[in-house]
Amino acid sequence: MPCRKLFRTMMCCGLLLAGEAAMGQNEQTCLLEDLDLAKMSIGWGSVQAGRSVDGNPLTIAGRVFPRGVGTHASSSMHIDLHGTAQVFHAWVGIDDEIAGAPAASVEFRVYADGIGAWRSGIMRAGQPAQQIRLDVSGVRRLILAVRPGSDGINYDHADWADAKFTYRGKRPVAVTPAVEPAVILTPRPPVTPRINGPRVFGVRPGSPLLFTIAATGARPMTFAAEDLPPGVTLDGATGRLRGTIAKAGTYRLRLSARNEHGAAERTLRVEVGERIALTPPMGWNSWNCFAHAVTADKIRAAADAMVSSGLANHGWSYINIDDFWQVCPDHEDTTLHGPGRAADGTIVPNPRFPDMAGLADYVHERGLKIGLYSSPGPRTCGGCLGSEGHEERDAATYAAWGFDYLTYDLCSYMHGMRDTADRAENIAPYRTMQAALRAQRRDIVYSLCQYGLADVSQWGGQVDGNCWRTTGDIVDTWGSMSGIGFSQAGLERYAEPGRWNDPDMLVVGQVGWGPDLHPTRLTPNEQYTHISLWSLLAAPLLLGCDLTALDEFTRSLLTNDEVLAVNQDPLGRQASRLRRDDVREVEVWARPLEDGTQAVGLFNLGEAAAEVEVFWSELGRSGRQTVRDLWRQKDLGAFERSFRASVPRHGVVLVRIGTPREQAETDRAKE
């Protein structure tokens, strides 16, 4: 749609009248909604012209605006003004459609040529619209941003109402910000063996154990283990530990890997007890790439690719089927039809999954583990059969098939609840499945998916949850990923080995939620931020991309053993936010590691490069401290008082601060 004219330009045979250039061209108005709104990034839903994000009339505190743009935090739009605009005008506020939602809070921000030019301050639901009338003369690039308040992005429906520019000459145009080159920072692993993956592993007494020693280095490679607990054997050619351990306790195994270039050793602590998933699960899930288009063939291909791509050598181990392995009676696709359950109530998968036990074997034969998905309600989110009324039988079936992981998604159960914020109502369905899983002689990681309702972090562990989603679904935009990731502050007190907050799956690589995939819309720096932040957060790392189509950059993001070691650190402490500078839009997050060092993320959420600094006093440290760049796997030297780095737009510098305890002891012994 063309821009509307405020005043008719005086034209003569299509040419401007003489003298006009000197006087300046006539002023025109361009509505924000007439720009290419596909260029606006949004944290949830889709950007709407003349409507709220949910498609209602734009309404702020009862005032209805016929024009404007409805969006959702985190959101941003880059607009080239070419120095020809005079005024940007808008009324901003939270749309009334989320009336009463306590977590709705946003800040509107406007940047002119990289510099903050206007901020609304935090605005909440019901607050009257604020007017902006900003002089933008001479400005070349304007950025309109909506940032979430500190309570995350939920309900952050934000309106740029009656938003428009006045300009003379060249019309404003929405642009895609320049994307930095995808620079690979992860060094290639050496040909000598290196043992990666978790250093601690939990298994219940008597449960079948499968643990594959993840190791990089040239093949062929052989593996050995000292101090194997009774009941466990090691296949020296594949590095797979199998068996069962009857007696609870702590076992320390000395693992080694050898090839023609050398050898590596590492201690693996096996905790035989009630807790499993002692480090966050790492693997793949079908949802963010295939969604309803998942098939058993795609699961087998994912398992093959997990091994052939080398990811398995870095500790990636789960292959999880999400929704759509069950029968979906109302789906238009007939390959999803079928009886659904046998006469005795046993679940019968849809015809795309004719042999679940065979599929589980296929995945296990590759040294990997396999997961599936269900709902406590009658239907899953995709409308397939859920487990309601069949929990015991379903858990027994999953165990008999040989499954290792269950994602249990509230979905249709939620529609029958009186109050989704009620804790007892939220706990009840998860307790039922907890009891059903406990009755199995198989360790099944229990992943709660109820989008963070009723403060799940506070009770997820009480129902044996190994992880619990803390947010709604992620999508592959900066708004979504950063909005979710940076709103996890405060939840760290609930994370510990076997109990993980889950800010949803990863959105790097080829994603798509269906048959058609596209490369992630996150820029390279945003992807570094994503993996670094999820590692600091001790989040489950579940890849949501097509593993058969991994490009070199994505592979490099997923195979940095020093970064992954932060995620898998045996201490299991989730990072806290040490500092959030709202004006400069930088944040510093840190987590303590088992070896006495700290992993620190220096993040820049702003629109231009920024210096970010962490002070030793914030980390409880003093004196000279060594700093290591984890992505580059490179020591940066020893620093007094603080470390500071220039961090690109939406990027991160991830460092480890301090000397690892073992190394410090060796250094002392040498002195």
Contact call for residue 323 and ligand GLA (CB under 6 A): yes
5 vs 647: CA distance, rounded Å: 42
Please identify, using beta-carbon distances, which residue of 331 and 521 lies nearer to ligand GLA. Answer: 331
Nearest CA to 656 among 541, 562, 572, 539? Answer: 562
Determine how β-strand 282-285 pairs with β-strand 318-320.
parallel
H/E stretch holding 110 reads strand 105-112
Please identify, using beta-carbon distances, which residue of 146 and 411 lies nearer to ligand GLA. Answer: 411
Please identify, using beta-carbon distances, which residue of 316 and 373 lies nearer to ligand GLA. Answer: 373
Show the site string, 370-399: x = touches ligand GLA by CB under 6 A, - = not: ----------xxx-----------------
- The 3 state secondary structure assigned to 379-439 is ECCCCCECCCCCHHHHHHHHHHHCCCEEEEECCHHHHCCCCCCCHHHHHHHHHHHHHHHHC
What is the smallest separation between the CB atom of 405 and ligand GLA, expressed in angstroms?
Answer: 13
Tokens encoding 404: 């290792």
How many other CB atoms sit within 10 Å of the CB of residue 113?
15
What is the smallest separation between the CB atom of 502 and ligand GLA, expressed in angstroms?
Answer: 10
Please identify, using beta-carbon distances, which residue of 285 and 525 lies nearer to ligand GLA. Answer: 285
Exactly one of 473, 551, 582, 629 is catalytic; name it. Answer: 473
Tokens encoding 415: 């529609």
546 vs 541: CA distance, rounded Å: 15
How many other CB atoms sit within 10 Å of the CB of residue 472?
17
135 vs 86: CA distance, rounded Å: 6
Instruction: Please report, as residue ranges, which positions from 286 to 305 form the binding site for ligand GLA (by CB under 6 A).
Output: 287
Residue nearest to ligand GLA (CB): 381
Q: What are phi and psi of 435, to 5 degrees?
A: -65, -40
Please identify, using beta-carbon distances, which residue of 27 and 473 lies nearer to ligand GLA. Answer: 473
Show the site string, 232-271: x = touches ligand GLA by CB under 6 A, - = not: ----------------------------------------
Based on the residue annotation, tell me whether 473 is a catalytic residue of this protein: yes
DSSP, collapsed to helix, strand or coil, labels residue 330 as: coil
Please identify, using beta-carbon distances, which residue of 154 and 380 lies nearer to ligand GLA. Answer: 380
What is the smallest separation between the CB atom of 315 and ligand GLA, expressed in angstroms?
Answer: 22
What is the smallest separation between the CB atom of 467 and ligand GLA, expressed in angstroms?
Answer: 12
Q: Mention every residue, 6+ apart, whose C-beta is less than 8 A from residue 365.
A: none
Instruction: Please report, as residue ranges, which positions from 449 to 478 form the binding site for ligand GLA (by CB under 6 A).
Output: 449, 473
Contact call for residue 326 and ligand GLA (CB under 6 A): no
Please identify, using beta-carbon distances, which residue of 72 and 147 lies nearer to ligand GLA. Answer: 72
Contact call for residue 44 and ligand GLA (CB under 6 A): no
What is the smallest separation between the CB atom of 383 and ligand GLA, expressed in angstroms?
Answer: 8
Q: Could you give the residue ranges of the DSSP H alpha helices within 486-613? A: 524-536, 552-558, 561-567
What is the smallest separation between the CB atom of 407 and ligand GLA, expressed in angstroms?
Answer: 6
One residue of 107, 271, 322, 388 binding ligand GLA per CB under 6 A: 322
Instruction: Please report, as residue ranges, which positions from 526 to 565 form the binding site for ligand GLA (by CB under 6 A).
Output: none
Binding-residue total with ligand GLA (CB under 6 A): 9
DSSP, collapsed to helix, strand or coil, labels residue 159 as: strand
User: E strands, 493-545, where?
Assistant: 500-502, 510-511, 518-519, 541-543
What is the smallest separation between the CB atom of 286 and ligand GLA, expressed in angstroms?
Answer: 9
Based on the residue annotation, tell me whether 409 is a catalytic residue of this protein: yes
What is the smallest separation between the CB atom of 380 and ligand GLA, expressed in angstroms?
Answer: 6
CA angle 201, 206, 211 (to 5 degrees): 30
What is the smallest separation between the CB atom of 529 and ligand GLA, expressed in angstroms?
Answer: 21
What is the smallest separation between the CB atom of 420 and ligand GLA, expressed in angstroms?
Answer: 14
Q: In what order do the strands lie in the sheet with 209-212?
A: 209-212, 240-243, 232-235
Please identify, using beta-carbon distances, which residue of 326 and 535 lies nearer to ligand GLA. Answer: 326
Contact (CB, 8 A) for 394 and 387: yes
Sign of CA dihedral 655, 660, 664, 670: negative
Exactly one of 96, 409, 502, 569 is catalytic; name it. Answer: 409
Per the rule left: phi > 0, alpha: psi between -120 and 50, beta: everything else, 566 is alpha
DSSP, collapsed to helix, strand or coil, labels residue 287 as: helix
Show the site string, 404-423: x = touches ligand GLA by CB under 6 A, - = not: -----x--------------
Please identify, using beta-carbon distances, which residue of 60 and 328 lies nearer to ligand GLA. Answer: 328
148 vs 157: CA distance, rounded Å: 10
Distances (CA, A) of 496 to 280, 473, 484, 562: 10, 23, 20, 20
Please identify, using beta-carbon distances, which residue of 189 and 460 lies nearer to ligand GLA. Answer: 460
* Active site residues per annotation: 409, 473
Binding site for ligand GLA (CB under 6 A): 287, 322-323, 380-382, 409, 449, 473
